[in-house]
Amino acid sequence: MHESRLIADLVNRAEIEAAGRPEAITGLRLRLGALCGVPPEALRRGMGQHALDRWGHVPAIVIDESVDPVAPSARGVVLVSIKVEP
């Protein structure tokens, strides 16, 4: 359950950053916190499936893994950037 809510929040943030043009999103870069507890491949699969269901396509997804357990985002996932085609 934790993963699905996390993924839904990330997809919502990406849509906001894309100015409501999710069809133009071609890439997502995420940072996985060291204490998040979500395996990177599970996050990638979940993000891809959620994007496909909601946007009709799967953007390229890059996941950077943090190793810093005291970072402010150590227990979560951060949407670092999105790539949007004009």
Domain CATH for 56:
3.30.2320.50
pLDDT tens per residue, range 48-63: 999 999 999 999 999 9
Number of domains in the chain: 1
- The pLDDT mean for the chain works out to 95
- The encoded tokens of residue 25 equal 């999103």
pLDDT tens per residue, range 18-27: 998 999 999 9
Contact residues for 73 (Cβ-Cβ < 8 A; gap 6+): 31, 33, 66
Sign, CA dihedral 42-27-49-9, equals positive
Q: What range does the domain containing 71 cover?
A: 2-84
Radius of gyration of the chain (CA): 12
pLDDT mean over 23-46? 96
In whole angstroms, give the CA distance from residue 56 to residue 51. 7
